[in-house]
Amino acid sequence: MYSSSSSVSVDDEFEKLVSRINPPRVTIDNAFDEKATLIKVDSANKRGSLLEVVQVLTDLNLQIKRAYIFSDGGWFMDVFHVTDEFGNKVYDDNISEKVQRSLGPRGCSFRALERSVGVQSAGEHTMIELSGPDRPGLLSEIFAILADHKCNVVAAEVWTHNSRMASVVYITDGANGLPIDETDRLDNIKQLLLYVLKGNRKWRSTNTSVSVGSTQTQRRLHQMLYADRDYDNQDVGSVTDERVKPLVTVENCVEKGYTVVHMSCPDRPKLLFDTVCTITDMQYAIFHGTVNGEGPEAQQEFFIRHTDGCPISSEAERQRLVHCLEAAIKRRSSEGIKLELCSDDRAGLLSDCTRIFRENGLSVTRAEVTTRGTQAVNIFYVTDASGSTVKSETIEAVRKEIGMTVLRVKEDAYSTSPPEQSGGFSLGSIFRSRSEKFLYNLGLIRSCS
């Protein structure tokens, strides 16, 4: 009799054998679609194949305008219509190789959810993960602790949703630019960060652990907020949330043995990654799907089953999936005014900048921190402490203090705003033309209409 670890090993070796016998095939076509590049992926099916492909396309900063998904049995076929970030066709000979590599035996693996504060060495950097209750000024206090301990932040991403915060921060030693590996120093930093994260809230505990392995940063943020149950008791009282609230329905297709997920919301970059990531990490498999993001409203429809092969069996599970997908769509929503900080990188830059935000009553709802050579390029989305739009005079005061040429207000085409009224939207009209034909040919439309 095999042990569980032996069984896992045998399964892994079998997957590798199948991949070697049937390597993935990626076709790039710029003639089929006048406006987009068509990417067709054929590969032996394994758990997470769809997510791995979508993750590669997302990491390449490609915009997925349409997609058709088929992955029944031991093979899967995905077709994506993509553009670059400016809406142009893509001419990159490396796309095929990168997608094929992601689906090979060395591709991404699925790792367990962990920690509220975790630390690991990640190549040239040390990575810190934080999650906990959000509050005004929290990011300022986090960066201040790192600055006080002579840590240089080379990259970071921060998300907030439903009064929760998750962040992945990459740091080096400010003195030599190397990863920080002194155990006592890291333990001290972790304890101080935990103290800051807890604040005065004792109703939800926070603990520490050291993370293992590595996961794509934005997927990790989804995992941390999901583990922190940010989908519970979601705020629906604000005007902004109500205006852009995604429409998510989950119904069983009894005849075919699937659960059908419909989603409609304002389109934005990386939307498909966010939904597929959440469905996959919730232990569901997507067998068929159609995605349309060519207009202001994005429509997604997936036919899914649990990884044990069963559709959703209870109302509680159905509601949980609805709430988790709503949360996944809203986590990356660009609430607030977008500020871009471009400056020569220096020790304490983020600590000083976020302190000025805090002193002027600004709250950071999302942040992206990058370092390009000697230049710091940082994006912040800010609101006032109550979550409302910041007054222009406050923004100008902050800019004068930080530097008018250093901190600029940027337009964001995907910031939250009231969606246009479509006039009689209904679930029955979500997918038309090619989408309906595609699903009809699979024998799935009639049973669910």
* Per-residue pLDDT, 122: 60
Q: List the beta strands (DSSP E) in 141-273.
A: 151-161, 164-173, 247-253, 258-266
Q: 12: number of CA atoms within 13 Å, CB side?
A: 12
| Gap between the Cα atoms of 57 and 95, Å rounded | 8
| Gap between the Cα atoms of 379 and 341, Å rounded | 6
Put the strands of the sheet holding 37-44 in their side by side order: 25-29, 37-44, 75-83, 63-70, 284-292, 297-306, 258-266, 247-253
| Gap between the Cα atoms of 25 and 97, Å rounded | 10
Rounded (10°) CA dihedral 395, 338, 240, 197: -90
Are 286 and 302 in contact, with CB atoms under 8 Å apart? yes
SS3 for 88? coil
Are 339 and 305 in contact, with CB atoms under 8 Å apart? no
Number of helices followed by number of strands (H, E) in the chain: 13, 16
Q: Structure tokens of 341?
A: 């900080």
For the chain of 449 residues, list the mean pLDDT of each consecutive stretch of 10: 46 53 81 93 86 91 95 86 93 81 57 52 81 92 95 94 93 90 89 85 45 72 93 58 78 92 95 97 95 93 94 95 97 89 93 96 95 93 91 96 94 54 35 46 45
User: Is beta strand 375-384 parallel, antiparallel or unpaired with respect to 362-372?
Assistant: antiparallel
**Terminal-to-terminal C-alpha distance of the chain:** 47
pTM exceeds 0.85, yes or no: no
Q: Work out the burial of residue 249: count CB atoms within 10 Å of its CB; fewer than 13 is exposed, 13-18 middle, 19 or more buried.
A: middle
The structural domains of the chain, ordered by start, are 17-103 (3.30.70.260), 117-225+335-410 (3.30.70.260), 245-332+423-448 (3.30.70.260)
Are 427 and 249 in contact, with CB atoms under 8 Å apart? yes
* Per-residue pLDDT, 202: 53
Residue 33 per-residue DSSP state: -
* Per-residue pLDDT, 246: 93
